[in-house]
Amino acid sequence: MANTDPGTAEHILDSHDLTDIHALVTGASSGIGMELARALAANGANLVMLCRNQDKAKSVVETFRRLHGDAAAERCLILQCDLSSMRSVKNAVERLENSHIVFDRCFLNAGIFGVPYQLTEEGNELTYAANYLGHYYLLHRCIAADKIARNGRVICTISEGAYMNPFSKADCDMITYPERILGNNLAKLQSRSQASPNSKVFLLLMMTALRDLLRGSVYEELKFCGGDPGATLTDNINQVGPLIKSLSPLFKNFMKPVEEGASVLAHLATADAKDWDEVTLMNHRLKTIPMPRSVNLKKAQHAWEITENVLGLPRLAISG
């Protein structure tokens, strides 16, 4: 019987020479993003690490240096970026636009979950902003500026809740009018549990809309993938509250370490993609799975359009 254990990201990447690969990783200073970045750098990839906490990111790169030598650390460029702040994302994108870098792999990995409903200074709901809006803005601007390789891959970290939870959906009102539930305590409580999986549905819709938009263009060969790491013990557990945090040692018994959680993203970055004509969704067992019912082209096009308008971005126009 075949072994279905997905192994670790490092095990997958060890058989690949990534010397000529330029990769963008969001949320690279902790959890799955940090482990993915370490494995990529260890195998020769050139990294841009978008991280909210620059000091923490610098410490992470120094760890890479101790583990893998100066060359691995020197291939890592840190850009400060708080994905919940469109102003911060705009500043990071402008630095990328002024660089010579073209990304072969874009890992849209950063995310939060279980945090209370709250609005950012720009009026966006925090979880939707950090998980979806910031990544949408980043990807939109990078494609418009030709900063992604035309045969590259965009890989989003997706949770099981996005495709297994029957209540997960793209709640467009939370993008266009998030303040509508300010006075509704029950709705705010529900948002705390649903905002993260719902925002991941938006990521799937974003890739679906973009895949369709780019057909027949110079980006015809650009691949879009979603990877579900499964139940992985990451620093995000600290966001849920002190009680859950205090129980985190118990979670080690049934949650995988980040070394294994990152494996599906490493696989999506290196596997043969010749048959990935549509958005590919893969679980932690490295098996391709169907899109949830909440994702279809009509919904994707609607979500793409309203998000573009909310963020004040010009219509994405790509030459053939």
Q: State which residues of the chain have pLDDT below 70.
A: 1-6, 233-255, 319-320
Report the half-sphere exposure of 127 (CA within 13 A, side-chain side): 26
**Spatial distance between the Cα atoms of 49 and 57, rounded to a whole number of angstroms:** 8
Alpha-carbon distances, residue 30 vs 80, 261, 277 (angstroms): 14, 13, 32
Q: Which domains does the chain have, with CATH numbers?
A: 9-307 (3.40.50.720)
pLDDT of 14 reads 92
Which whole-number Å values give the CA distances from 272 to 41, 70, 193, 243, 269, in the listed order? 21, 31, 36, 43, 9
Give the three-state DSSP class for 285: coil
Per-residue pLDDT at 234: 64
Residue-wise pLDDT tens digits, 127-172: 999 999 999 999 999 999 999 999 999 999 999 999 999 999 999 9
Q: Are 146 and 188 in contact (CB under 8 A)?
A: no
Question: Helix 134-144 to helix 185-213 angle, to the nearest 10 degrees?
Answer: 20
Q: How far apart are CA 226 and CA 109, in angstroms?
A: 10
Residue 243: per-residue pLDDT: 43
How far apart, in whole angstroms, are the C-alpha atoms of residue 314 and residue 320?
A: 18
Residue 251 neighbours by CB distance under 10 Å: 13
Closest CA relative to residue 139, chosen from 17, 320, 316: 316
> Token pair for residue 309?
């308008």
pLDDT of residue 253: 55
Q: Is 15 exposed, middle or buried (0-12, 13-18, 19+ CB in 10 A)?
A: exposed
**Antiparallel, parallel or unpaired: β 280-282 and 288-289:** antiparallel
